[in-house]
Structure 1
Amino acid sequence: MKALLLSLLWRVPLALVVLLASSWGVLALYFRGPESLALRLLFITLWLLPALAAMVGIAIPRSAPLTVAGPALFGLAVVVLAVWWHTITPSHNRDWAPDVARLLHATRDGDIVTLENVRNFEWRTREDFDARWETRQYDLSTLESADLVVSYWMGPAIAHTLVSFGFADGRHLVFSVEVRRTRGQKFSALGSFFRQSELVLVAADERDIVRTRSNARGESVYLYSVALSKADMRSLFEAYLQESDQLENEPRFYNTLTSNCTTIVYDMVKRIVPGLPWDYRLLASGYLPDYIYDLGALNTDFALAELERRGHINQRAIASDHDGHSTAAFSQAIRETVPSARIERHNADEPPQP
């Protein structure tokens, strides 16, 4: 009995390691293997053979040759897979989907920021659109608002988050961290754990990037005014510009868990608000408004449920299509019932006086 227990002490953990490693390898080969499905299945089969030999070696008596040979063969296969995995690097040079085909480029001259490749598509459906990329200038001294846009596309826990900045001239600019898909590629939350897609920062007109979700895709979209001082708004805007510089110089992979539309914004805000607490709602991004509300950064004169009701923009966004194709009209329409959470103090950027 004692011998059996001692045997299980090393066999069970080793079998679990082999099972987890082989499962990871199957997914890695499926999502990043050859484009041909037949070749991918062949490589997956070749990968599973040493895994099977390792499991047999773990299960049989220690005197059998496969007791050592099986795990050793699998160990060699793991080394080969690891070498292949490290050859997979992000790139800017692929056949990109049209809506993520260009990289944002920013130049600065004091308060004036010039942005190249601002997206301003006219969307009719997901696949039917007029592509427009524009160069725009913004005066950061005229920043007036920052709004959180949350678009639910897969249940209450999963949402895409965007940040919209408003200027004194009535214009709004939205930043969105997105999956940079290749032409014809479909997003896979599981595949994004396995270097399936690069990451891109999109700067877009509100009527493009918000309307495509509410009107063309039929997602449920909410808008919340965020309480930030003008200094913090500017810092957040500049953090997005720094992110665009970094991505332009060094491509990165999108990761469903560690490098996505919410965690990257958290990393940027953390530079502005030191000590910002980590929370599970940063991963379950559909609950991000709850997190921001608990921090006091939304309008807490209203219950969160009331902010959600007032911030649900879909009906107003769809109705705005009947009023023409004005960006200003769209931005005004989606904010009609949204309570402001802006910091109203005249000296909001100065520390409070004793």
Structure 2
Amino acid sequence: MPRASLRPLTIKECFGVSTQMARLTGGIKTGESGTDGDAMEFMEIAGYALVVFVTLFSLRLFYVWWTRIRPLRPKLDLVWEADCEHLTTATVEGNDITFHKVRDFHWRTTRDRDERWADEVAVRLDELKDVWFMVDHFHAIRGMAHTYLTFEFDCGTCLSFSFETRREKGERYHPWDGLWRAYELYLLVGFERDVTGLRTHARKNKDYMFRAITPPGKDRDLLLGMIQKLNQLSVSPEWYHSLLTTCNTSIVRIVNKVTPGRIPFLWRNFLPGHTPRAAFKLKLIEDWGGYESTLQKARIDEFAQEWDGVEDYSMMLRNRLPKGPHRTEN
């Protein structure tokens, strides 16, 4: 077939026979196309208008991205909000791990708090006891939630690792802004009584705490993977992205780096509020009597709000949760 005879289909041809073809076959008389003909004319005009609009919008979006967004570079030296002021780093020497600048805030409300950063926190890799998967529902929309990990050591220390946004002084987070390189990626390391206590007490969110299941030795590799990311971000900042580089997708990347293919590509990875069901099906968390029972037993905010402030916060949480198959009462 000659190249000149090839042409793209018209809008009319995409929707069906054209008005002219209908006339030739006797379906519509010339000059009397009527309602059907008018409707097809309208659809053609609307189709062209839509194509033009989408094309112009896409070109404009590309122009803005290429000229204004793409050149932006993440920074380390801005004036940050107090809760993300410092970057935690860690040194590893054999089994000895020392964290520098660990957040240890005491929250009464979201605005009333005592601020403190621990200069040095020492733990041992061979004393890693459990890894906990935390899900914080901060919004009425079920899929909107925050996920993070807590590492528990035999010495009683519980450190939470939470991928968040690093905000400048006076800056507030909004998911839309997070699509356009507005925030640096921040890996917070804080004591559990700070990171989880903020959510159960100051914010009064609905929170769940699941004991993670890891292959032998992979729990330590996961911690070392987190530390590697921690130290990397302290010298080479990255952008947070509301869809691609979030609290949950960042965890998934490190888990799959430690154990390739452990977490497949799932839509739930992008809606953290739905991750418990996926984690349960993939046997990433312990089964406490079926999914619904596990979910019920994992909820901690209701009893955590009864905390008297005297008992150790982390011990209080674990005393109300099922013991692992390899754990006994202290």
Residues 308-337 of structure 1: CA distance to partner in whole angstroms, max 9, x if unpaired? 2111111222211x242x5xx211222233
Counterpart CA distance in 2 for 1:165 and 1:185 is 30
Residues 109, 342 of structure 1: CA spacing in aligned structure 2 closer, same or farther, 3 A cutoff? farther
Match for residue 54 of structure 1? none
Q: Which residue of 1 aligns with 2:34?
A: none
Give 1:212's aligned residue. 198
What's the secondary structure of 1:145's corresponding residue? strand
List runs of 5+ in structure 2 lacking aligned partners.
1-8, 14-43
Give unpaired runs (5+ residues) of structure 1: 26-77, 345-354
Equivalent-residue separation in structure 1 for 2:65 and 2:154 (angstroms):
55
The equivalent residue for 2:29 is none
1:230 is displaced (CA, Å) by 4.9
TM-score when normalising by structure 2 = 0.80
Question: Which of the two has higher C-alpha Rg?
Answer: 2
Structure 1 equivalent of residue 159 of structure 2: 173
Q: CA separation in 2, counterparts of 1:81 and 1:131?
A: 38
Residues in 2 aligned to 1:159 and 1:271: alpha-carbon distance in whole angstroms: 23
Shift of 1:221: 0.8
Please identify which structure carries the higher helix content.
Answer: 1
Q: Distance in 2 between matches of 1:207 and 1:131?
A: 13
What secondary structure does 1:223 align onto? strand
Measured against aligned partners, the alpha-carbon deviations of 1:48-97 in whole angstroms (never above 9, x if no partner) come to: xxxxxxxxxxxxxxxxxxxxxxxxxxxxxx3x762332331110111111
Residue pair 1:195, 1:253 contacting (<8 A) in 2 also? yes
Contact 1:228–1:343 (CA under 8 A) maintained in structure 2: no
Contact 2:225–2:258 (CA<8 Å) still a contact in 1? no
Aligned residue identity for 2:283? G
Indicate the larger mover: 205-214 or 295-304.
Answer: 295-304
Read off the aligned partner of 1:97 and give its amino acid letter.
E
Q: Among 144, 163, 168, which residue is 2:129 paired with?
A: 144
Q: CA deviation at 1:3?
A: 8.2
Give the Cα separation in 2 of the matches to 1:293 and 1:19. 42
Equivalent AA in structure 2 for residue 87 of structure 1: P
* Counterpart selection for 2:290 from 266, 286, 303: 303
What amino acid maps onto 1:208 in structure 2?
A: D
Question: Is 1:337 aligned to 2:320, yes or no?
Answer: yes
Helix, strand or coil: the match of 2:268? helix
SS where residue 161 of structure 1 aligns?
Answer: strand
Q: Could you tell me whether the CA contact under 8 Å between 1:124 and 1:216 is conserved in 2?
A: yes
Give the Cα–Cα distance (whole angstroms) in 2 for the partners of residues 302 and 4 of structure 1: 57
CA distance in 2, matches of 1:114, 1:121: 19
**Alpha-carbon shift at residue 20 of structure 1 (Å):** 3.7
Tell me if structure 2 keeps the 8 A contact 1:95–1:182.
yes
Q: How many residues align?
A: 285
